[in-house]
Amino acid sequence: MEKLKELPGGICAPRGFKAGGVRAGIKAGASKRDLALVYSDRPCSSAAVFTRNRVQAASVIVSREHLKKSGGRIRALIANSGNANACTGETGLAAARRMAALGAEKLALRPEECAVASTGVIGVPLPLPLIEAAMDELAASLCTGADGALAALEAIMTTDTRKKQGALQCTLPRAHDIRIGAMTKGSGMIHPSMATMICLITTDAALSPAMLDRALRRAVDRSFNRLTVDGDMSTNDMVLIMAGGAAENEPIETEGEAYEVFAGALETLCVKLARAMARDGEGASRLITVTVAGAASEADAAVLARSVAGSSLVKAACFGADANWGRVLCALGYAGIPFDPAAAAISFKSAEGSIPVCRDGASLPFSEAEAKKILSRDEIEILIDLNGRRAGQAESFSGGSEGAGSGSAGPGSASAWGCDLSFEYVKINGDYRS
Amino acid sequence: MEKLKELPGGICAPRGFKAGGVRAGIKAGASKRDLALVYSDRPCSSAAVFTRNRVQAASVIVSREHLKKSGGRIRALIANSGNANACTGETGLAAARRMAALGAEKLALRPEECAVASTGVIGVPLPLPLIEAAMDELAASLCTGADGALAALEAIMTTDTRKKQGALQCTLPRAHDIRIGAMTKGSGMIHPSMATMICLITTDAALSPAMLDRALRRAVDRSFNRLTVDGDMSTNDMVLIMAGGAAENEPIETEGEAYEVFAGALETLCVKLARAMARDGEGASRLITVTVAGAASEADAAVLARSVAGSSLVKAACFGADANWGRVLCALGYAGIPFDPAAAAISFKSAEGSIPVCRDGASLPFSEAEAKKILSRDEIEILIDLNGRRAGQAESFSGGSEGAGSGSAGPGSASAWGCDLSFEYVKINGDYRS
């Protein structure tokens, strides 16, 4: 993981990609961009992960079809905000197909080489004529560099308040520098697995579709699937990666050192964006990282951590900077994973310091004032050790990001990310459509 | 189910029960009652259902022990509010045992004939000396009639804003009138299965512990287990029923007509209280009844209905009286139960009327103004028919309480109850301990 270097430029940081975004008029009111296009000037390997909700948006159905039909060779994405094109029946499906075809036509691609994504209100027909009318301008807006990436990102945002993008460079064996860039939107209806999120990842590395798929699934499992804002799994979730190969590395077609470097960098970027999404959760005032150590497996630890991060009562307590650790233990208790509550230890941590509040499943004496100070920061950690009986307990976490590992009873540790539950969340969601 | 008659008097409506409540000083601040005692002047059959959270309060552990040790012969309950005695380790367990022993001593019972319940903040040691000091006054407060029932009910309330109790009379074969009374507390940390709820049910019917247990489980499954306020399953949930037999009916020891009449009346009373709990959900401004028809089974319908009732986004939309039916379909989609979204129909209903908003999984044209009027009432229904293709669809619900049945594709229908998500919920839970 050494030698990761952050880059500017988001999805246009990798060589060979162009992006653009315009206003088509799908989003009511404001003069905001709402239609995005991203294009690789080379053929790509591609892979994607979609929502597991049984109700799936037309864009999800069509993109899955195109991924399959092209044999993992998607090289463009057309995406809109302001309308999810979900629960819109056969008409919606036809609209999504038409939207992909419009993008493909402008780029001289086959329709199945173009994926489509939509986000916004559910159940309202997609205003296709607005998209058709904007296609010339959209194609003309394509450009390399940071401006193109930013225009595309702005065009997929809904209630997002921050621009969530990033890019990394890393070095494969034989000194090949490759780049990975990503942009994501999503701040409400966010829950494992996935979210109302659209995430597009670009890379100039060369990989086979199969290895790209494997690396993507691993990264998503350890990032976006550990994210929860409100417990609602969306109809529109999609993470798409396109690998164009402009870096001209020897194509990664098997596991090995090059795959590991690539997959590790991809995971790092996805975790960064997942954290950014939690921080930008609807109405959020704090980013909450929940880390569980001492579980039987990483998978068990992830379920426990997500249960805590998803608890309305824990989230509301964090909003109030209230060190109500009993709610943390309670949320562990209903996660459906066996553990011994009488051995659990809990600490709260932030840039203000850390404070152990529970050991052996029971209260430790602690200063409420100090706890409040720690919990008042905009980034807080809840550290849980399922075998806190060994000395030092939660203090032994390695920075709180991926948990302890060494010294745990069980070998499993994992983090999940969420945010507090605020007045603002209710305000945003009590009147989203109006 | 005919011949059910509502009675005043709550848990003291059945003959042979006394109840009382006093202020012991466990609840900070106010001069509120916080210690309750309920006593049957006859030996009882008893049964109980407890939380399935792996983290269990001391009172739950001790009451389960006593139920078993007495062979289903609990005849008294001592309960406190202001402190959950959960996550309090061995000391907490000893305190719960001592609390039960104190109650039993005053009533000249064996300790295992006394159950114990606690509700309030988690992780703080139970102030046993306050309880000991209040025991004389508590025992002296026991009385028959509505006053005793009310004093006990007040003493178990926490963030509850309404007094939730009820009583019914029904007639068994051979013209035996029997009575069932119940009181319950709970308004936050409420989720299937169960809730931070304490529910005590009394009856003067004579039943064996085994038949009482069977009737209780059926009633709880169709009432409290279909209730969700915030997705958090508590450490302290308990529903206890005591049957004293003062009605002098022939004891119900097998299934048959008498059992059915009793079990039906018990279910009716539990549903009434579950609805009262949803209406009194923390911060709630509306009671939401979600009814699903056309599922493969009642159990499937119940899971689907609870998923909708538990969705933060649906709840926030209801707070805003926003007819955002797409969120309803979305919440059905992640419930984990197979169904065809393209066949689903959705209506909203209240005392203002009813409005179909979705058919065949897609939008119907409807008046937003009319929908807002319907959703602005304090009691609203979301009616879902999984096979809405047949004419009339959601209109065919039988009053919305237990769903359609006749005419459905699948035979399964069920209702779940919840409430909206309001600013007030966040306020209450952002600073509960302070």
Contact A46, A213 (CB under 8 A): no
**B433 falls within a domain:** no
**A159 falls within a domain:** yes
**Residues in chain B within 8 Å Cβ distance of A331:** 232
Facing residue for B426 by CB, picked from A84, A358, A422: A422
Using DSSP's 3-state secondary structure scheme, residue B251 falls into: coil
**Are B75 and B161 in the same domain?**
yes
Facing residue for A311 by CB, picked from B87, B232, B329: B232
User: Which residue from B138, B216, B148 is spatially nearest to B10, judged by alpha carbons?
Assistant: B148
**Are B294 and B269 in the same domain?**
no
Cα torsion at A302, A308, A311, A315 (round to 10°)?
-120
Facing residue for A319 by CB, picked from B89, B326, B430: B430
**Are A388 and A262 in the same domain?**
no
Rounded mean pLDDT of B81-106? Answer: 95
**Are B59 and B103 in the same domain?**
yes
Cβ neighbours, 10 Å, residue B274: 28
User: Which residue from B176, B240, B167, B182 is spatially nearest to B205, judged by alpha carbons?
Assistant: B176
**Residues in chain A within 8 Å Cβ distance of B324:** 122, 432-433
Q: How far apart are CA A328 and CA A305, in angstroms?
A: 10
Q: Which of B226, B255, B278 is the last residue of a domain?
A: B278
Facing residue for B329 by CB, picked from A55, A188, A319: A55
The residues, any chain, with a CB within 8 Å of residue B176's CB and separated by 6 or more, are B247, B248, B249, B250
**Are A143 and A269 in the same domain?**
yes
**A282 falls within a domain:** no
**Residues in chain B within 8 Å Cβ distance of A327:** 122, 189, 232
The residues, any chain, with a CB within 8 Å of residue B296's CB and separated by 6 or more, are B337, B338, B410, B411, B412
Under the banding of pLDDT at 50, 70 and 90, the label for residue B430 is confident
Contact A102, A135 (CB under 8 A): yes
- Name the DSSP letter for residue B283: T
**Catalytic site residue A171?**
no
Q: Which of B278, B302, B331 is the last residue of a domain?
A: B278
**Are B131 and B36 in the same domain?**
yes
Please give, rounded to a whole number of angstroms, the shortest distance from the CA of A377 to a CA of chain B. 15
Facing residue for A54 by CB, picked from B310, B339, B362: B339
Contact A193, A303 (CB under 8 A): no
**Are A325 and A409 in the same domain?**
yes
Answer yes or no: is pLDDT of A8 > 90. Answer: yes
> How many Cβ contacts (< 8 angstroms) between chains A and B?
217
User: Which residue from B12, B5, B7 is spatially nearest to B146, judged by alpha carbons?
Assistant: B12
**B432 falls within a domain:** no
Confidence (pLDDT) at A131: 98
**Residues in chain B within 8 Å Cβ distance of A232:** 311-313, 327, 330-331, 334
Q: B52 in the Ramachandran plot: left (φ > 0), alpha (ψ -120 to 50) or beta?
A: alpha
Which of A134 and A234 is assigned the larger pLDDT?
A: A134
Answer yes or no: is pLDDT of A114 > 90. Answer: yes
Which pLDDT tens digit goes with each residue over B264-310?
Answer: 999 999 999 999 988 887 778 899 999 999 999 999 999 999 999 98
B173 touches chain A (CB under 8 A): no
Using DSSP's 3-state secondary structure scheme, residue B130 falls into: helix
Cβ of A232 within 8 Å of Cβ of B334? The answer is yes
Q: How far apart are CA B82 and CA B425, in angstroms?
A: 19
* Pick from A224-228, B123-127, B170-174: least confident: A224-228
**Residues in chain A within 8 Å Cβ distance of B363:** 87-88, 123-125
**A433 falls within a domain:** no
Cβ of A339 within 8 Å of Cβ of B125? The answer is no
Give the residue carrying structure tokens 């597991």.
Answer: A52
Cβ neighbours, 10 Å, residue B396: 20
Confidence (pLDDT) at A254: 97
Contact A92, A79 (CB under 8 A): no
Q: Which of A277, A306, A331 is the last residue of a domain?
A: A277
Domain harbouring A163, CATH code: 3.60.70.12
Which pLDDT tens digit goes with each residue over A176-188?
Answer: 999 999 999 986 6
Answer yes or no: is pLDDT of B184 > 80. Answer: yes
Cβ of A232 within 8 Å of Cβ of B313? The answer is yes
Give the residue carrying structure tokens 């059926």.
Answer: B218
Contact A142, A20 (CB under 8 A): yes
Confidence (pLDDT) at B409: 63
The interaxial angle of helices B89-106 and B128-141, nearest 10 deg, is: 20
**A349 falls within a domain:** yes
Identify each DSSP E strand in B186-253 by its residue range.
198-203, 238-243
Using DSSP's 3-state secondary structure scheme, residue B401 falls into: coil
Q: What's the angle, vertex CA B390, arms to CA B384 and CA B391, rounded to 5? A: 95
A81 touches chain B (CB under 8 A): no
**B255 falls within a domain:** yes
**A432 falls within a domain:** no
Answer yes or no: is pLDDT of B395 > 60. Answer: no
Please give, rounded to a whole number of angstroms, the shortest distance from the CA of B290 to a CA of chain A. 17
B127 touches chain A (CB under 8 A): no
Residue B166 phi/psi, 5° resolution?
-170, 165
Contact B74, B67 (CB under 8 A): yes
Confidence (pLDDT) at A279: 86
Confidence (pLDDT) at B194: 40
Rounded mean pLDDT of B383-400? Answer: 60
User: Which residue from B34, B101, B19 is spatially nearest to B66, judged by alpha carbons?
Assistant: B101
Which pLDDT tens digit goes with each residue over B365-377?
Answer: 999 999 999 999 9
**Are A75 and A203 in the same domain?**
yes
Q: How far apart are CA A112 and CA A68, in angstroms?
A: 8
A348 touches chain B (CB under 8 A): no
Q: Per residue in A236-254, is it b (16+ CB within 10 Å) or e — as a string?
A: bbbbbbbbbbbbebeebee
Q: How far apart are CA A196 and CA B311, in angstroms?
A: 14
* Pick from A171-185, B85-99, B224-238: least confident: B224-238
**Are A270 and A335 in the same domain?**
no
3-state DSSP of chain A: CCCCEECCCHHHCCCCEEEEEECCCCCCCCCCCCEEEEEECCCCEEEEEECCCCCCCHHHHHHHHHHHHCCCCCCEEEEEECECCCCCHHHHHHHHHHHHHHHHHHHCCCHHHEEEEEECCCCCCCCHHHHHHHHHHHHHHCECCHHHHHHHHHHHCCCCCCCEEEEEEEEEHHHEEEEEEEEEECCCCECCCCECCEEEEEECCCECHHHHHHHHHHHHHCCHHHECCCCCCCCCCEEEEEECCCCCCCCECCCCHHHHHHHHHHHHHHHHHHHHHHHCCCCCCCEEEEEEEEECCHHHHHHHHHHHHHCHHHHHHHHCCCCCHHHHHHHHHCCCCCCCHHHCEEEEEECCEEEEEEECCEECCCCHHHHHHHHCCCEEEEEEECCCCCCCHHHHCCCCCCCCCCCCCCCEEEEEEEECCCHHHHHHHHCCCC
Predicted model pTM: 0.83
Q: Which of residues 374-393 of B touch A (CB under 8 A)?
A: none
B339 touches chain A (CB under 8 A): yes
Which of B16 and B3 is assigned the larger pLDDT?
A: B16
Domain harbouring B392, CATH code: 3.10.20.340
Contact B290, B415 (CB under 8 A): yes
Burial of B30 (0-12, 13-18, 19+ CB in 10 A): exposed
Cβ of A316 within 8 Å of Cβ of B429? The answer is yes
Q: How far apart are CA A263 and CA B152, in angstroms?
A: 61
Nearest CA in chain B to A86: B326
Confidence (pLDDT) at B393: 41
Cβ of A326 within 8 Å of Cβ of B86? The answer is yes
Cβ of B361 within 8 Å of Cβ of A231? The answer is no
Under the banding of pLDDT at 50, 70 and 90, the label for residue A277 is confident
Q: How far apart are CA B230 and CA B422, in angstroms?
A: 11
- Which of A184, A196, A235, A268 is an active site residue? A196
- Please give the distance of CA A174 from its chain centroid, rounded to a whole number: 31
User: How far apart are the two ends of chain A, measured CA to CA in Å?
Assistant: 47
Give the residue carrying structure tokens 């499993």.
Answer: A412
Facing residue for B325 by CB, picked from A123, A363, A431: A123
The domain total for chain B is: 2
Cβ of A231 within 8 Å of Cβ of B232? The answer is no
Domain containing residue B294: 287-427
A411 touches chain B (CB under 8 A): no
Nearest CA in chain A to B55: A333
**Are B380 and B358 in the same domain?**
yes
Cβ of A232 within 8 Å of Cβ of B123? The answer is no
Confidence (pLDDT) at B284: 83
Mean pLDDT rounded to a whole number for chain B: 88
Cβ of B330 within 8 Å of Cβ of A234? The answer is yes
B177 touches chain A (CB under 8 A): no
Helix (H) or strand (E) holding B371: helix B368-375
Q: Which of residues 141-160 of A touch B (CB under 8 A)?
A: none
- Cis peptide preceding B81, ω within 30 of 0: no
Confidence (pLDDT) at A409: 63
**Are B259 and B294 in the same domain?**
no
**Are A169 and A299 in the same domain?**
no
Q: What percent of chain A has pLDDT over 90?
A: 67
Answer yes or no: is pLDDT of B432 > 70. Answer: no
Which pLDDT tens digit goes with each residue over A42-100?
Answer: 999 999 999 888 888 999 999 999 999 999 999 999 999 999 999 888 999 999 999 99
Cβ neighbours, 10 Å, residue B51: 25
Q: Which of residues 270-329 of A touch B (CB under 8 A)?
A: 310-313, 316-317, 319-320, 322, 324-327, 329
Q: How far apart are CA B433 and CA A396, in angstroms?
A: 29
B87 touches chain A (CB under 8 A): yes
